[in-house]
Structure 1
């Protein structure tokens, strides 16, 4: 049953520290979750289902329950640049047009699920299977799939709406009883354009995919979103996992409160966190105590910083900032992976669109490249050089031999398993079409590290376009989209290309230099950072083990996008909910 927001349970600042736990003690909490976002709220919710334990959530932002920049399901981008947007800045991107990029993440209860694009698309099954191939026993598609279902409450469209909007789905791949509402809003557009686009993509060799959430993503589809259909609002992590359960006496949240670092027991043989140092909105500093575990869920750009500020990371980096090493773990903050987003635009003709169009195309390398086999051989031959370059750039923190193993696995997913290499959207505006797109599986690896004594001073370097494949992929997808707009029957409704335009990139398909210049000059982050506390064997560069516990510690875990060793083809949010659901079970079982 959905609950209502009350200020009495949204604690702010040091005054909250004396709130009594369910067992009548004011001496701390069993679990402290740092980050009240997508993953953190899911973990906290599930742990607090046990009335015998107490859970505290520390969140840097506030409640956005009534923030119209958040609640509007068609308001993507409205919150960008506002006070709930961290708007992290990268270093100058040496390989990426010498530009500084903005990476969006939300400072709010609900985390980045409050400002994302609401797309509910999971991953290719073989991608999740690859986690186990890297040495993470028990992490594969079959083991994770039940947790996708556990998190989801799929809102079945009425038959008439299903036909009108071509809202097709496979019932057995969706959950019915989870906290997270997914589905389609009532403002979904009619079936004219999905049918047109489906015919067009089929003419390009891309099949219809009834449901991209069943582990096979290649094809054209109409995807569901994280929406509350009845109330026509965004469904974020707070609405799903916190507000309906906020009256639990063993679940508390500190809003507008920043975690500074973990504190450690002095007597433990293995480093054991016993609390978190925090700063409240009024600037006061204090420590909240953890009796069992500290769980970092602050996101791929912040969780590694908190580890470093707490003395877990590369001794060389820690020394630069006067931080005593607790665990020498040099790969903390390494393995950063993000995608690069570009777009094309065209005039619209013979058509007007009313409503929301949630169509997506996931082509494989064979659909995008005319010479896929030749490209496969070319990239395979380049993998040792790729591994050596990444190792050199990151100071050999991750050895080239380990990187080569990862890259060979990634190559196999792309060229042998033929998983999607791109996401292509077709959006309708006032008299125009636009297609955002991104290559799903760049080989570049970057890093995020502390640049001072707080998480606000981060040094973020994704190394966009570091390796040849990353730019080649982006160029070929752009050419594929240009072909889409000139293919019937969609071409009946498309006019002049306005971005980049043939005056910028020649219509000649061989104008690779023109595409490269346009792409490097006009890309942005796709806001999908992963991998900075990767779940892998320690000797291969991992930061957490298969129970998501940080190597060298007794009771610190990371549960967020940091732990994903690779990018996934779908949008991150669905997989993060699933990982958090499984993590909560692992944590509860270990207690």
Structure 2
């Protein structure tokens, strides 16, 4: 059996794990082992912004999870891509840099999680950020994570922004600034037309450090626990041989909202009855492991256009060659595109103080990003509820780490969630009827114009059939002060010493926006906490 030893063992080289490995290994007096189940990020499509068309649903770099049939979606199952590669989901995602609202983090602090208010976390966002626009009160310019403006513009997205402002929504040039509310254009995690994943930003500059060992192809089987303390992890190396890493200080799980609770349960930390049903000895009864699952559900409206869109640009081989040449020469054009160009953060009514819906606007349309675009001119207007009340869970499906757990999202299971998605669809359709966008739309394709604007039940049923995940699962190792919380405000797993969780699973409530930037912030926060606590011990 292969054996390694280190001061710190980090499980998962995703957005948070890469940051933690970088920060902890900056101290030459400590050793760090970073384990990743997937391969190195050598697939060239990972580094091309539009490469998510090729990497999502590709089992060599994507876990390719799928939810259980969901009653809230009329029994449909949804694909949940998750990165299985250095960089984790930041190597597959749509590159959109969104932090959420300041009130998100203030609510975390109000729940008793000291150190997680907006005032506390803003410096962590700024620390990581290398903002193309320069530093200011809300942005940093000296960090590793490149944040840049779009290198692509399309008239249909400009028309959407103009129509939204005509409909009464203010233009906002910086949704990560003083206020989130308004419409504008996304920024993305890219530099000079190349994806800036967490691996590119945080691992590549430090991977030659002698005190940092990065191990790929390492599927962790469980955390080793002796006398109530984590002493290391056992793993399967490249699917063939057993291996073990022992740690002198801490094990840190940064495996994501699905894998982190699964690993806790495989290690005997979880609901006692569920563990026994799966033949696992109970080390610590923690009934909320895997629960509190939250996700952003998007309704994807598609409108046929009377002028060309990106659908037309990519259909012919000649145009594909022209696009490839433009990217090769200038790192520009459609291949430098993030998942969406335009965005909007809006309130569905005066009953909410801050935006409760978000738009992702794309100059193309498809049933699924991995299946190619529609054979007609069209664009997509996607809208999601930012703070869903629905709560799902991850359920263990056997003692073998190679067997995927069951995912029960429980989408649209509250009246607030149903009402919000319906109102979001209505707002989208109203924007489409304002100039200058109105003149560019030839047909309401999905939903069709036959669906009456005020038909609540009809719109809800349409949403149940045509919504999809934006791939923002969170919350399954909830942080909190109550006894049922999985981790405390210092990310320490309750009931087991020397073990932390640091990824989006620790969110008590999902943030009001895309989750990659918050995951990196969580990595920054965890590295600070680990160093503080171990400095006190020393």
Residue pair 2:156, 2:309 contacting (<8 A) in 1 also: no
Does residue 219 (structure 1) correspond to residue 182 (structure 2)? The answer is: yes
Q: Over residues 198-234 of structure 1, what are the superposed CA-to-partner deviations in whole Å (9 max), with x where a residue is unaligned?
A: 43222222111121112521100212100021xx211
1:238-253 aligned at under 5 Å gives the runs 238-253=199-214
- 1:80 aligned partner: 56
Q: Over residues 486-533 of structure 1, what are the superposed CA-to-partner deviations in whole Å (9 max), with x where a residue is unaligned?
A: 111221222211112124xx2x22222221221111222221111101
Q: Over residues 444-500 of structure 1, what are the superposed CA-to-partner deviations in whole Å (9 max), with x where a residue is unaligned?
A: 111112110133330211111111221221111111111111111221222211112
Provide TM-score, normalisation by structure 2.
0.88
Which runs of 5 or more structure 1 residues have no equivalent in the other structure? 1-13, 19-27, 157-168, 367-371, 377-414
Distance, in Å, in 1 between the alignment partners of 2:70 and 2:289 is 21
Residue pair 2:302, 2:444 contacting (<8 A) in 1 also: yes
Using the TM superposition, give the Cα deviation of residue 550 of structure 1 relative to its aligned residue in structure 2, in angstroms: 0.5
Using the TM superposition, give the Cα deviation of residue 143 of structure 1 relative to its aligned residue in structure 2, in angstroms: 0.4
Using the TM superposition, give the Cα deviation of residue 282 of structure 1 relative to its aligned residue in structure 2, in angstroms: 4.5
Distance, in Å, in 1 between the alignment partners of 2:153 and 2:80 is 30
Distance, in Å, in 2 between the alignment partners of 1:537 and 1:87 is 34
* Pairing partner for 2:495 from 534, 543, 552: 552
Q: Over residues 108-160 of structure 1, what are the superposed CA-to-partner deviations in whole Å (9 max), with x where a residue is unaligned?
A: 0100001111000111101110001111012100100000011111123xxxx
Residue pair 1:182, 1:228 contacting (<8 A) in 2 also: yes
Distance, in Å, in 2 between the alignment partners of 1:195 and 1:57 is 43
Query: Alignment length, in residue pairs?
Result: 495
Using the TM superposition, give the Cα deviation of residue 94 of structure 1 relative to its aligned residue in structure 2, in angstroms: 2.2
Aligned-partner SS, 1:426: strand
Residue pair 1:264, 1:272 contacting (<8 A) in 2 also: yes
Distance, in Å, in 2 between the alignment partners of 1:450 and 1:215 is 42
- 2:81 aligned partner: 104
Which deviates more from structure 2 when the two are superposed, residues 287-296 or residues 78-87? Answer: 78-87
1:43-82 aligned at under 5 Å gives the runs 43-65=20-42, 67-82=43-58
Distance, in Å, in 1 between the alignment partners of 2:30 and 2:213 is 12
Residue pair 2:113, 2:489 contacting (<8 A) in 1 also: yes
- 1:513 aligned partner: 457
- 1:491 aligned partner: 438
- 1:265 aligned partner: 226
Using the TM superposition, give the Cα deviation of residue 585 of structure 1 relative to its aligned residue in structure 2, in angstroms: 0.8
Distance, in Å, in 2 between the alignment partners of 1:198 and 1:328 is 51
Distance, in Å, in 2 between the alignment partners of 1:518 and 1:220 is 25
Using the TM superposition, give the Cα deviation of residue 172 of structure 1 relative to its aligned residue in structure 2, in angstroms: 3.3
Using the TM superposition, give the Cα deviation of residue 96 of structure 1 relative to its aligned residue in structure 2, in angstroms: 2.3
Residue pair 1:350, 1:492 contacting (<8 A) in 2 also: no
- 1:361 aligned partner: 344
Q: Over residues 346-379 of structure 1, what are the superposed CA-to-partner deviations in whole Å (9 max), with x where a residue is unaligned?
A: 122357677556210111122xxxxx5xxx5xxx
Does residue 585 (structure 1) correspond to residue 528 (structure 2)? The answer is: yes
- 1:528 aligned partner: 472
Provide TM-score, normalisation by structure 1.
0.81
Which runs of 5 or more structure 2 residues have no equivalent in the other structure? 311-332, 365-375
- 2:511 aligned partner: 568
* Pairing partner for 2:165 from 202, 212, 228: 202
Using the TM superposition, give the Cα deviation of residue 176 of structure 1 relative to its aligned residue in structure 2, in angstroms: 0.9
Distance, in Å, in 1 between the alignment partners of 2:309 and 2:71 is 42
Distance, in Å, in 1 between the alignment partners of 2:518 and 2:280 is 34
